[in-house]
A and B are shown apart, each in its own frame.
With several copies, the nearest count.
Chain A
Amino acid sequence: MARVIVDVMPKPEILDPQGKAVTGALQRLGFTGLTVRQGKRFEIDVDGDVTPERLDEIRDAAEKLLANTVIEAFDVRVDAE
Chain B
Amino acid sequence: MVDTVENAWATPDAEQPWAELGLKADEYARIKEILGRRPTGCELAMYSVMWSEHCSYKSSKKHLSRFGVLGDQTPRGPLLAGIGEQAGVVDIGGDWAVTFKIESHNHPSYVEPYQGAATGVGGIVRDILAMGARPIGVMDPLRFGPLDAPDTLRVLPGIVSGISGYGNCLGLPNIGGEVLFDATYAGNPLVNALCVGVLKHDDLKLAKATGLGNKVIMYGAATGGDGIGGASILASETFDADGPAKRPSVQVGDPFMEKLLIECTLELFAAGIITGIQDFGAAGISCATSELASAGDGGMHVDLDTVVLRDPTLSPEEILMSESQERMMAVVRPEDVDTFLGICAKWDVLATVVGEVIEGDRLFIDYHGERVVDVDPRTVAHDGPVYDRPSARPTWIDALNADRAEDLPRAASGAELAEELLTLVGSPNQADKSWITDQYDRYVRGNSVLAQPENSGMLRIDEETGLGIALATDNNPRFCLLNPYLGAQLALSESYRNVAASGAEPVAITDCLNFGSPEDPDVMWQFIESIMGLVDGCRELGTPVTGGNVSFYNQTDGVNIHPTPVVGMLGVIDDVADRAPMGFAYPGDAVLLLGE
Contacts and interface: CB of A to CB of B under 8 A. Distances in A.
B248 A13 contact: yes
A70 B311 contact: no
Interface stretch (A1-9, A17-25, A37-45, A53-61): A17-25
A17 B115 CA distance: 12
A14 B252 contact: yes
Interface residues of A, number: 13
A14 to B, nearest CB: 5
B424 interface: no
B245 A13 contact: yes
B140 interface: no
Size category of the B interface is 20 to 34
B574 interface: no
B10 interface: no
A10 B254 CA distance: 14
Contacts of B411: none
Contacts of A70: 111-112, 249-250
A21 B260 CA distance: 13
B224 interface: yes
Given A70-B111, A71-B115, A21 B248 contact: no
Contacts of B115: 71
A67 B251 CA distance: 17
Interface string A55-77: 00000000000001011000000
Interface string A13-35: 11111001100100000000000
A10 B251 CA distance: 12
A71 B248 contact: yes
Contact of B246 (A13, A15, A24, A68): A13
B473 to A, nearest CB: 29
B348 A14 contact: no
Nearest to B246: A13
B251 to A, nearest CB: 8
Given A15-B252, A24-B348, 20 more contacts: A13-B245, A14-B248, A14-B250, A14-B252, A15-B226, A15-B251, A15-B254, A15-B325, A17-B252, A17-B256, A17-B257, A20-B254, A21-B256, A68-B114, A70-B111, A70-B250, A71-B112, A71-B115, A71-B250, A71-B252
Contacts of A16: 252
B310 interface: yes
B247 A13 contact: yes
Contact of A68 (B112, B256, B311, B324): B112
14 contacts: A11-B248, A15-B221, A15-B252, A15-B324, A17-B253, A17-B256, A17-B257, A20-B254, A24-B348, A68-B112, A70-B112, A70-B249, A70-B250, A71-B112
Contacts of A21: 256
Interface in B293-342: 310-311, 324-325
A55 B39 CA distance: 52
B135 interface: no
Interface in B92-120: 111-112, 114-115
A13 B249 CA distance: 10
Label chain B's interface by main secondary structure.
Answer: loop
Contacts of A10: 252
B345 to A, nearest CB: 13
A20 B348 CA distance: 12
Contacts of B111: 70
Contacts of A14: 248, 250, 252
A24 B249 CA distance: 26
B176 interface: no
A55 B310 CA distance: 27
Q: Which residue among A13, A15, A21 has the maximum number of chain B CB atoms within 10 Å of its CB?
A: A15
Nearest to B251: A15
A68 B162 CA distance: 14
B225 interface: yes
By Cβ-Cβ distance, the 4 closest A-B pairs, closest first, are A17-B254, A15-B252, A70-B112, A13-B248
A17 B111 CA distance: 20
Nearest to A28: B348
A11 B582 CA distance: 48
Contacts of A17: 252-254, 256-257
Contacts of A11: 246, 248
B50 to A, nearest CB: 24
Contacts of A68: 112, 114
A71 B311 CA distance: 16
Nearest to B115: A71
Contacts of B256: 17, 21
A4 to B, nearest CB: 22
A13 B252 contact: no
Contacts of A71: 112, 115, 248, 250, 252
Contacts of B224: 13, 15
B259 to A, nearest CB: 12
A15 B257 CA distance: 12
A26 to B, nearest CB: 14
Interface in B252-276: 252-254, 256-257
Contacts of B221: 15
Nearest to B224: A15
A78 B225 CA distance: 29
Nearest to A21: B256
B194 to A, nearest CB: 24
